[in-house]
């Protein structure tokens, strides 16, 4: 039934790419595309109105860009996840998108199954970064991180939460963390929500960056 499907909205300014993406998404029975737009302002209004579960969002758009779209959507609704899908592979753009509220970042050249698994991971509470971007992203922040300020757990994380955060910093997904720590994936997600609340962040990436800057974790 349609009400059990994941509702997806797509913002992509190139007509042929949009057409191809919509065609790909239509082949996955668990997904339902509820709308699309080719520019940022219209996309924001429809996303807020339709409240999809997840938005696949290009960064390069006419008018306002994907980062601004993310900021505006997140200001008006907290129930919509955003997965950036773009040709950009600049680690500073990755951080800007995550800071704006995006839950993941994939380059357009990835295959359909990678997009599908990315959607699943984001909806399961994870953060998705394409491998090549992720390496550059973490290397970038590892090179600019501050000297240890309060390495002895300044946020009051439990020992279990500290382990979860350290595994996440190594790039493991929720499912992989669960396998390593012998925890159910939903339990990992619960621990992450507690970590986010204690650290005052909203995603894996923000948590790891904050922990890096505090000298609490190493990559």
- In angstroms, the Cα distances linking 135 to 61, 91, 131 are 26, 9, 6
Confidence check: pLDDT of 150 > 60: no
Structure confidence at residue 67 as a pLDDT band (50, 70, 90): very high
pLDDT tens-digit readout, 181-204: 999 888 988 998 899 899 988 777
**Residues 132 and 154 placed together within one structural domain of the fold:** no
Mean pLDDT of the region 32-42: 96
In a domain, 119, yes or no: yes
Per DSSP, what are the bridge partners of residue 35? Answer: 9
**Residues 110 and 207 placed together within one structural domain of the fold:** no
pTM over 0.95: no
Residue ranges with strand state E in 59-147: 81-86, 104-107, 128-129
**Residues 28 and 105 placed together within one structural domain of the fold:** yes
Q: Which region among 26-40, 59-73, 81-95 has the lowest average model confidence (pLDDT)?
A: 81-95
Confidence check: pLDDT of 12 > 90: yes
Question: Which tokens belong to 33?
Answer: 């595309």
Q: What is the pLDDT of residue 2?
A: 45
Domain region containing 122: 2-136
CATH number of residue 160's parent domain: 1.10.10.10
For the chain, the domain total comes to 2
In a domain, 171, yes or no: yes
Mean pLDDT of the region 10-35: 95
Mean pLDDT of the region 106-125: 87
Higher-confidence residue: 14 or 148?
Answer: 14
Last residue of a domain, one of 77, 102, 136: 136
Distance CA 53, CA 50 (A): 9
Higher-confidence residue: 207 or 180?
Answer: 180
Q: What is the pLDDT of residue 41?
A: 94
pLDDT tens-digit readout, 117-131: 989 988 887 778 776
């Amino acid at each position: 039934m349609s009400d059990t499907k994941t509702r997806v909205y797509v913002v992509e300014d190139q007509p042929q790419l949009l057409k191809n993406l919509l065609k790909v998404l239509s082949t996955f029975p668990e997904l339902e595309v509820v709308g699309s737009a080719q520019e940022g302002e219209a996309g924001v209004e429809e996303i807020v109105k339709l409240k999809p579960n997840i938005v696949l969002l290009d960064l390069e758009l006419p008018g306002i860009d994907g980062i601004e779209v993310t900021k505006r959507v997140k200001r008006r609704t907290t129930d919509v996840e955003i997965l950036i899908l773009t040709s950009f592979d600049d680690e500073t753009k990755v951080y800007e998108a995550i800071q704006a509220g995006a839950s993941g970042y994939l380059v357009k050249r990835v295959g359909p199954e990678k997009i599908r698994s990315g959607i699943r991971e984001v909806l399961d509470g994870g953060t998705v970064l394409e491998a090549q971007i992720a390496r550059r992203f973490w290397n970038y922040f590892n090179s600019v991180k501050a000297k240890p300020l309060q390495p002895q757990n300044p946020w009051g994380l439990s020992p279990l939460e500290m382990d979860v955060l350290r595994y996440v910093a190594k790039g493991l997904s929720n499912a992989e963390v669960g396998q390593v720590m012998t925890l159910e994936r939903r339990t990992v997600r619960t621990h992450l929500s507690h970590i986010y609340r204690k650290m005052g962040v909203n995603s894996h990436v923000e948590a790891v960056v904050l922990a890096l800057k505090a000298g609490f974790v190493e990559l």
